Structure 1
Amino acid sequence: MIKPSISQDFPDTQPITVPMEFEASLDAPTEPMGLMDMPAYGGLELAPIEVTLYEVTGLTRKDNRVCPQPSRWLEMYRILQDQPGRDGLPPDPVVGSAWASTPPLAKRMAFHEQLEWADRNHCLTPVHEYLKTLRDVDWYVA
């Protein structure tokens, strides 16, 4: 690599000169600055944190869970039905006489369809809150 040659000589740097009226203040002790007046937030609340389908699926798959037990699944179905602004009805849960004849994989898929419906209709947060309250015995495990 070829370095360019500098043909111009630069003058030596010179120390800064401080006017006499400021010289005494340079050695003065410092004082902490007071806090600035911050505007009051007056009852503002944080926006709710949106739950993702990934998070809810992780909760529902913990410890090889398939779906809630039939009575708990119906409670979740009613939560979905009561949500405002939804588009149509959520998919039906597997309950009643269909429960005994449906294999675990089909139950899991039906439950996941409901979760996807809740995600599309922006009502996944109340479902997540409900599912977090369920005990281990409230889940069907394969």
Structure 2
Amino acid sequence: MNKSELISVCISDNRVCPMPPQWVKFEELLSEMGNGKPPQSLILGYWFDTSDEEKRKCVQQQIDWAYERGLLDFAIEYLTQLKPNQWHTGYRK
């Protein structure tokens, strides 16, 4: 799986982003493994103040960040193992 395919998986079935507990864990693990700070997950106060599109964009930025640091395989493993109820989904248009 490449980066584009992972992003496609992350937006399939109307997925927006991981639910807050899984999303913050993803960010923490990326930070530990990547020697730096990935884009911040839009949780806590940001959760209700950001649109689904902004949340999707943030996940894509985190995937880009992981890719640039050689952590794409980790991102693939982590995000693809999440169960359906561990994803926030948007409304179908």
TM-score by length of structure 2 reads: 0.89
Say if 1:79 and 1:127, in contact at 8 Å, map to a contact too.
no
Q: How many residues align?
A: 90
Larger RCO of the pair (alpha carbons < 8 Å, separation 6+) = 2
Say if 1:67 and 1:141, in contact at 8 Å, map to a contact too.
yes
Residue of structure 2 equivalent to 1:128: 76
How is 1:33-48 mapped onto 2 (pairs within 5 angstroms)? none
TM-score by length of structure 1 reads: 0.60
Q: Do residues 74 (structure 1) and 28 (structure 2) align?
A: no
Moved over 4 A (4+): none
Structure 1 unmatched ranges of 5 or more: 1-50
Shift of 1:89: 1.4
Residue of structure 2 equivalent to 1:54: 4
- Higher helix fraction (1 or 2): 2
Q: RMSD of the TM alignment (CA)?
A: 1.2
Say if 2:11 and 2:56, in contact at 8 Å, map to a contact too.
no
Shift of 1:87: 5.7
Shift of 1:71: 0.8
Deviations 1:75-108 (A, max 9, x none): 111120121xx36311111010110111111111
Larger Rg: 1 or 2?
Answer: 1
1:88 & 1:76 partners in 2: Cα distance?
14
Shift of 1:111: 1.1
Q: Do residues 109 (structure 1) and 57 (structure 2) align?
A: yes
2:32 & 2:47 partners in 1: Cα distance?
24
